[in-house]
Amino acid sequence: MTAEIAVAVLLGLVGGAALFSVVGLLRSPTPLAALHYLGPAAIAAPPLLVAAVVVSGETSLAFDLQAGLVAAFLVVGAPFVTQLLGRAYYAGENEGGESG
């Protein structure tokens, strides 16, 4: 019973992070400002989701480790992808291709 409550709380936090990101994306004035709102969904949600899977106790250790590796890859890779998207947008706006 306690594990079910913990899973529900963790999944609620994942949904809250995603909802915060969506609202931020919809209300941001520019595409570059919108990139800042991707953080909660890209950084906070994957580890919380893996924690919910592990706490549920219904998966094997191998699956838990794989899920943890995927979450770590997403958390580490998200800032790089965000930076590349920002540079691509900036280069397209300047028409010269120079971003720095």
pLDDT tens digits for 19-29?
999 999 999 99
pLDDT of residue 97: 54
- Residues 41 and 47: their CA atoms lie apart, in Å, by 10
Q: What is the mean pLDDT of the chain?
A: 90
Quick check: is 25 in a domain?
yes
Domain extent for 76? 2-94
Q: Given a cut of 70, is residue 99 above it in pLDDT? A: no
Whether residue 24 lies inside any domain: the answer is yes
Residue 54 is encoded by which pair of tokens?
């592990």
Residue 100 lies in a domain: no
For residues 19 and 25, give the distance between their C-alpha atoms in angstroms, rounded to a whole number. 10
Q: What is the pLDDT of residues 3-16, one digit of tens each?
A: 899 999 999 999 99
Number of domains making up the chain:
1
